[in-house]
């Protein structure tokens, strides 16, 4: 069942307001086509300011002209830059959404991590596969920390990688832990800066104790 023009006008009236509808009615009452066209251009520019979210859509200028055409009851006769239509697509039923049927085994990692691991298992070069495994391990550790405040060890991350890849991706745990391969650079630098901050403050305090007050020295000079 196709929606009536009155229904479409009511929808657009909520977006632009009664004043815009009154301006549309005024344009329809003008006999001169050139004057109707000039005022229609001005009104479309006004509608663009009243409905700025349309700028993010494709062909937003054409949509504005179609909105004007609908608000006129499909009676607007002007030299428009586009072919005006009553926007029958408003009557189309929304397309059904496809929901994922397969949930990831580890929800805190997400489906994309499983896809990355699957892609890494397809790499033929050993060095590329090792580099991919290390990058995935860093990502998994970051995702786990954002999902759970508890700390996680490298052996758990490595075990999860092995299970998801069905044993195709594997690294030496001692090599990972000794080189902190699953730790992101930002995480290490942040921890280092946090551990050095008290020492820096202590050094700064020691330096202040060894200095003379410049204000006192200045007063002594004045004496």
Give the DSSP letter string of 68-109. Answer: HHHHTTS---S--SS-----GGGGSPPPPPPPPSS--SSTTT
The pLDDT tens digits of the residues spanning 96-111 come to: 777 767 777 777 888 8
Q: pTM value?
A: 0.42
What percentage of the chain exceeds 90 in pLDDT?
A: 32
184, 142 Cβ separation under 8 angstroms: yes
CA atoms within 13 A on the CB side of 73: 8
Q: What tens digit of pLDDT does each residue of 33-59 get?
A: 999 999 999 999 999 888 888 787 778
**Which of 113 and 213 is assigned the larger pLDDT?**
113
The four Cα atoms 166, 140, 131, 158 give a dihedral, to 10 degrees, of -50
If one compares 196 and 87, the residue with the highest pLDDT of the two is 87
Q: Which of 79, 173, 163 lies closest to 121 in space, CA to CA?
A: 163
């Amino acid at each position: 069942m196709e929606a009536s023009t009155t229904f479409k006008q009511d929808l657009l009236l909520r977006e632009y307001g009664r004043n815009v509808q009154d301006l549309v009615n005024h344009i329809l009452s003008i006999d001169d086509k050139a004057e109707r066209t000039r005022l229609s251009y001005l009104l479309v520019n006004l509608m663009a300011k009243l409905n700025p979210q349309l700028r993010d859509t494709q062909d937003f200028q054409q949509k504005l002209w179609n909105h004007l055409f609908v608000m006129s009851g499909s009676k607007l006769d002007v030299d428009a830059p586009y072919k005006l239509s009553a926007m029958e697509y408003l009557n189309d039923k929304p397309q059904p959404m496809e929901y994922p049927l397969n949930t990831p085994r580890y929800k805190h990692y997400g489906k994309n991590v499983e896809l990355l691991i699957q892609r890494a298992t397809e790499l033929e070069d050993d060095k590329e596969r090792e580099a991919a495994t290390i990058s995935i391990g860093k990502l998994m550790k970051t995702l786990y920390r954002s999902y759970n405040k508890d700390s996680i060890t490298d052996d758990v991350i490595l075990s999860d990688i092995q299970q998801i890849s069905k044993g195709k991706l594997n690294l030496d745990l001692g090599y990972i832990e000794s080189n902190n391969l699953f730790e992101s650079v930002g995480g290490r630098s942040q921890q280092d800066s946090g551990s050095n901050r008290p020492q820096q403050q202590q050094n700064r305090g020691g330096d202040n104790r060894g200095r003379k007050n410049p204000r006192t020295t200045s007063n002594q000079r004045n004496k």
